[in-house]
Structure 1
Amino acid sequence: MAKTILHKAATRGHADHGWLNSHHTFSFANYYHSERMQFGALRVLNDDIVAGGRGFDAHPHDNMEIISIPLEGALEHKDNLGNTVITKAGEIQVMSTGTGVFHSEYNANSDIPAHFLQIWLFPNKLNVAPRYDQVTIETGRPNTLQQLISPDQNGEGTWLYQDAWFHMGSFDKGGAATYDVKKQGNGVYFFVIKGKFTINGQELDSRDGYGVEDVSSFNITSLEDGARLLMMEVPLIR
């Protein structure tokens, strides 16, 4: 029998630091909710807006898969692996932090905010050599789900150390897609970036999150033009 959890946008944790306005779907920093610690391997889903010229100073991570998806503006990434890169809307970055990485993330522009999703997954392999990758999200394919991330190093998009698949799509009103779970036993977490959708009959608004377990196939329909959806299929580790 299907098990679902609905996280309405207004129920997320919120922190406004002036330079950073952040909404947390799961417990993070000073926001703690005992029933919102994770969805399987998905540990963090933060919806961040960073003021012009500001950002996160260099800080460490280890044994976590970290994904950044800019929605508006651009981020400047620097790390102790020797990478200094700009990631802009239409691209994604993935770090496998493994044995440890120091990195900073700054708004690449001084005059406009940078808006991005920050996502953390627990890895399926510990203490790997740290790595960084960045890929472009293809555009021009409305009403389809584009694969962004998979476990396959030779697959579409980029890859990470987890049996996880990320897909994103932009939809017209009435646009529809289906999705079949890639690995038996995985769950799927949906996050509406913009607009409204129905997923297997459940209506979702902008910035809502919806986790589903024990379902192998999904019917997705957009209720608005320009709607955008992020899907994260992850193992249901506890």
Structure 2
Amino acid sequence: MITQTKATIYLSDKRGCTQQDWFRSYHTFNSGVYFEESRKPFGNLREFNDDTLKGGCTVSKYSEEHSCVLLMPVVGTLNYSAETATGAIEPGQVAVISLPKQTRLDITNPYQEELINFLQIRLSVPDTDGPSGIVEFDLDAQHGNRIPFLPAFASIGKYKGRGEDVLFVKDAADSGVFVFVLEGAFEVQNRLLHPRDGLALWHVSEVEYEALSNDAIILLLQVKL
């Protein structure tokens, strides 16, 4: 018996876009830009942006509320600087930054010519005492397994075709799960997702998924509703 869960699919080609000659950002949620349809935040997940930045350039983000920001490089190294943290990260690392209200985060491409691509994920939090620092993971060394890089909150995995897994959700009554496909294709809770597609799921106790291509990469975030 297949149980149909409440869900919203965010197709990659339906995302909002902010673009200049030095910076491009695809927004899964509104993030201050206009959409063909309303895209409200999903629980405390306020932004999920897929950003590309030109060499030698810096983009600044301002936080209007206490936030936890995750920076995840996909292509290239990035430098970041905020009131609470400064550093450099590359693919295989995630910067977790506690950002106080009304403060700025600067993200810089250290290369002169090459573009970089990264995910910028922002969650609202009641205060800025949450986790911070740099988390590392190795998708190739743990191929076929989901890697929790923030326990009980965020995980990532790389799978061969027909590789399957299940995410068990804590506090399902008050939680949702946001799924984002970085590479390849997946079937998630009986829904087909392609590269850079997202899926929001409400009040699920478990999330089943299967890779439909080799070296497919999936990111899962548990959010507060």
TM-score by length of 2: 0.89
- Find the counterpart in structure 2 of residue 232 from structure 1: 221
- Find the counterpart in structure 1 of residue 38 from structure 2: 35
Asked whether the equivalents of residues 8 and 199 of structure 2 are also in contact (C-alpha less than 8 Å), the reply is yes
Offset of 1:16 from its aligned partner? 1.5
1:203 and 1:136 mapped to 2: Cα distance? 29
Q: What are the Cα deviations for residues 38-69 of structure 1, in whole angstroms up to 9, with x where unaligned?
A: 11111100000101111214756540111111
TM-score by length of 1: 0.85
- Find the counterpart in structure 2 of residue 84 from structure 1: 86
Q: What are the Cα deviations for residues 7-46 of structure 1, in whole angstroms up to 9, with x where unaligned?
A: 1111100121111111110001333566311111111000
1:84 and 1:214 mapped to 2: Cα distance? 36
- Find the counterpart in structure 1 of residue 52 from structure 2: 49
Q: What are the Cα deviations for residues 56-88 of structure 1, in whole angstroms up to 9, with x where unaligned?
A: 14756540111111111011112334x432111
In structure 2, do the counterparts of structure 1 residues 171 and 131 end up closer, same or farther at CA, with 3 Å as the change threshold? closer
Offset of 1:111 from its aligned partner? 2.0
| Structure 2 unaligned blocks of 5 or more | none
Q: Is 1:137 paired with 2:132?
A: no
1:141 and 1:9 mapped to 2: Cα distance? 27
Aligned length: 220
Q: What are the Cα deviations for residues 171-205 of structure 1, in whole angstroms up to 9, with x where unaligned?
A: 11111111111222211111111110001211111
Asked whether the equivalents of residues 67 and 101 of structure 2 are also in contact (C-alpha less than 8 Å), the reply is no
Q: Which amino acid aligns with 1:16?
A: Q
Secondary structure of the 2:66 match is coil
Q: What are the Cα deviations for residues 128-162 of structure 1, in whole angstroms up to 9, with x where unaligned?
A: 46974111123311111111124xxxxxxxxxxxx
The more displaced of 110-119 and 131-140 is 131-140
In structure 2, do the counterparts of structure 1 residues 26 and 59 end up closer, same or farther at CA, with 3 Å as the change threshold? closer
Asked whether the equivalents of residues 73 and 89 of structure 1 are also in contact (C-alpha less than 8 Å), the reply is yes
Offset of 1:6 from its aligned partner? 0.8
Residues 8-27 of structure 1 mapped to structure 2, 5 A cutoff: 8-27=11-30
Asked whether the equivalents of residues 98 and 129 of structure 1 are also in contact (C-alpha less than 8 Å), the reply is no
Secondary structure of the 2:172 match is coil
2:221 and 2:36 mapped to 1: Cα distance? 21
- Find the counterpart in structure 2 of residue 103 from structure 1: 105
Q: Which amino acid aligns with 1:223?
A: L
Q: Which amino acid aligns with 1:40?
A: G
Q: Which amino acid aligns with 2:222?
A: E
